[in-house]
Amino acid sequence: MHLLIIGAAGMIGHKLAEKVAATGMIGDRKVDVLTLADVIEPEAATDFDGERRAMAVDLSQGGTAERMIADQPDVVVHLAAIVSGEAEADFDKGYRINLDGTRMLFDAIRLTQGYVPRVVYASSLAVFGAPFPDRIPDDFHLTPLTSYGTQKAIGELLLDDYSRRGFLDGVGIRFPTICIRPGKPNKAASGFFSGILREPLNGQDAVLPVPDDVRHWHASPRAAVGFIEHAASMDTARLGHARNLTMPGVSATVGDQIAALRAVAGDGAVAHIRRQPDETIARIVAGWPRDLDTARARDMGFKAETSFREIIQIYVDDELGGVLPSEPASPR
């Protein structure tokens, strides 16, 4: 089986590629050919036992989508996007990459005679915007309040329609905010959710731009990879024409996050958090979902963590070698 990961240089794409290289599988499907694509050439999965290909491409440029699917990969994982804060700041770039690139990919598949791959599309909770119920049901109508959310919502509708018409076999994954993201901060408006945990666990200061009572929906990078693996091999007949699913996660306030950090790493870690209000970020986050009913996704086999301590422990295990920080030094 041939697997194509678009956006393979990003955090989730990199982790997915490494998992595939280690197991030779995605879900219950054996991978013989692995193609990794991004705007910079991905370096992941160099130890993959099968045939590995890597390419530096821009999906939003004409002809790129056709080049990527020329060998008709069986599963296409579409993770390529610019994140929420950047899409809001640069309107044209957001639509070019997040929407035009997606449409080009779907059309390249549609126009390839007899080719109907499984397409796993990375969507977002940003497709939901206030006003919404305290607990958003899976079938709640799309109400984005940002350009990023609008771009993802349009992608979801395209995925449904192209799947309905038989051009591709799509599964759309509405990712929770992924926490704790390893590495350096990105331009996502949600980046502080990881930063207020990651930096203190590494003995560094972190900025908290919103109040402690802000509540949001989270899952770990490990869960994110699991979502994709399951979507790549699940029976899509159960989805019917509603191809997009809200993924399971943990509903937690910023205060809950900080309490879990204190329980794991002590007061010294929490002391690294500096409160610095940012009205722009607070306004964006205020319109995001806080709690979701994900019974449909759970019934179909998708799984995530059930507590924030579990999310922090996964970061410790996967990124810090399983060694709990004893008591990071308090900031000067």
Dihedral sign computed on CA atoms, order 37, 304, 195, 215? positive
Specify if 298 maps to a domain: no
Specify if 277 maps to a domain: no
Identify the active-site residue in 95, 115, 121, 148. Answer: 148
Model pLDDT for residues 272-286, shown as the tens digit of each residue: 999 999 998 898 888
Specify if 320 maps to a domain: no
Model pLDDT for residues 112-169, shown as the tens digit of each residue: 999 999 999 999 999 998 899 989 998 899 999 899 999 999 999 999 999 999 999 9
Give the count of domains, the chain.
1
Write out the residue range of the structural domain in which residue 118 sits.
2-176+218-246
Residue 146 has φ and ψ, to the nearest 5°, of -135, 160
Query: Residue 287 — pLDDT band, cuts 50, 70, 90?
Result: confident
Helices (H), the chain: 11-23, 64-68, 84-89, 91-94, 101-110, 147-164, 191-201, 221-233, 254-265, 267-270, 279-286, 295-299, 308-319
Specify if 253 maps to a domain: no
For residues 231, 233, 234, 236, the Cα torsion angle rounded to the nearest 10 degrees is: 90
Query: Residue 332 — pLDDT band, cuts 50, 70, 90?
Result: very low
Specify if 265 maps to a domain: no
In this prediction, residue 288 carries a pLDDT of 84
Please answer whether residues 80 and 7 qualify as being in contact, where contact means their C-beta atoms are separated by less than 8 angstroms: yes
Model pLDDT for residues 106-127, shown as the tens digit of each residue: 999 999 999 999 999 999 999 9
Q: What is the CATH number of the domain that holds 73?
A: 3.40.50.720
> Is 148 annotated in the active site?
yes
Model pLDDT for residues 179-202, shown as the tens digit of each residue: 999 988 777 788 999 999 999 999
Length of the chain: 332
Cα 43 → chain centroid:
19
Cα 24 to Cα 89: distance, rounded to the nearest angstrom: 39
